[in-house]
A = this chain, B = another copy of it.
């Protein structure tokens, strides 16, 4: 007799800020029997994963690999390997995840300078130039796609700007990779981290990271040990390098998943994938406009994969999301921080960025908002989205 029954969860459609649904082929790959983590077949698989990650990050960085923990561990990996006590770091905070960088950077003993923008806005190159000039930091950290607000931070010119001041650029690409372009080499990014459960269409569990040669040199010049053993890139380099020096046991099944996820990204093609996200974004936006739901992020700086919208007056956040979940099995996210109780966050990422998802979500939102007493023009949002697809 068993204490608990086997899993059999009620199916969900995951349209929050993450995780998103994994592609069915990825789920299937996870049930592949295990290989040993030093098996020649597994080493070849890891070489392929690294090669594919480089193609998705658009980089030739040798040190491009999945950290064996979730996205937040990727953020910590980038910061603890580049910072040591007494170093100066600037964190650009314009939402929840910038705040995370402040906490983690502070634990390295580095001197943290914070520049801020109101949630939903983004930084101008002038504002960043000013702080670089003033502080002359070793590292500048910024979030590319701010999951808490749906704001897109332009970073195309930021690497060049940082390098004028001999500063290393660390980019949070958790919500951007696989949805919008992340061009590590062209944009001169020195360290980037992401996750598996959004644009790559895999379950959460790994954090892809990439370090430029400039970042590696900075690590080689360290005077102190990296404070976190598990995330010490020096050890991980030996594990993944020719020596194959044992560091930890790689999460085999998660790497199976990432291998399949990356295969699917490259099979679709990066340009086609970005265009798909853009198309479904426009359709969803047309529908949300028809529902009368305004965006929280400033016009011109909105992500195609995260739509953060302000709730109409009188609409109860928790009640609405509960209704969506219970009636339709659809999960969306609530607001974080300043936007708690006031916003919903809708993710169309990776596998979930597709027309059927947009249509069912709009239809369900229409019903929920109507039930909650909002004035909604019936059928208008679905019609608007269909109009975009028909165009």
- Whether a CB of chain B sits under 8 angstroms from the CB of A133 is no
Contact indicator B203/A252 (Cβ below 8 Å): yes
Q: In the bound complex, what is the Cα–Cα distance between A70 and B35 (angstroms)?
A: 16
Q: List the one stretch of A149-157, A260-268, A365-373 in contact with chain B.
A: A260-268
- Chain B residues contacting A282 (CB-CB under 8 Å) are none
Interface size bucket, A side?
35 or more
A2 and B37 contacting across the interface, CB-CB below 8 Å: no
A105 to chain B, nearest CB (A): 10
Q: How far is the CA of A107 from the CA of B266 in the complex (A)?
A: 40
Which residues of B have CB within 8 Å of A10? 41
| Residues of A contacting B: mostly | loop
**In the complex, which residue of chain B has the Cβ closest to the Cβ of A325?**
B39
Of A183-191, A222-230, A298-306, the one touching chain B:
A222-230
| Interchain CB contact (< 8 A) of A22 among B34, B39, B70 | B34
Closest to A227 in B: B227
Complex CA gap A25/B2 in Å reads: 14
Residues of B within 8 A of A42 (CB): 9
User: In the complex, are the beta carbons of B22 and A6 less than 8 A apart?
Assistant: no
CA distance A71 to B16 in the complex (A): 30
A347 to nearest B CB, angstroms? 11
Contact of A12 among B33, B76, B231, B267 (CB under 8 A): B33
Residues on B with C-beta less than 8 A from A257 are 253
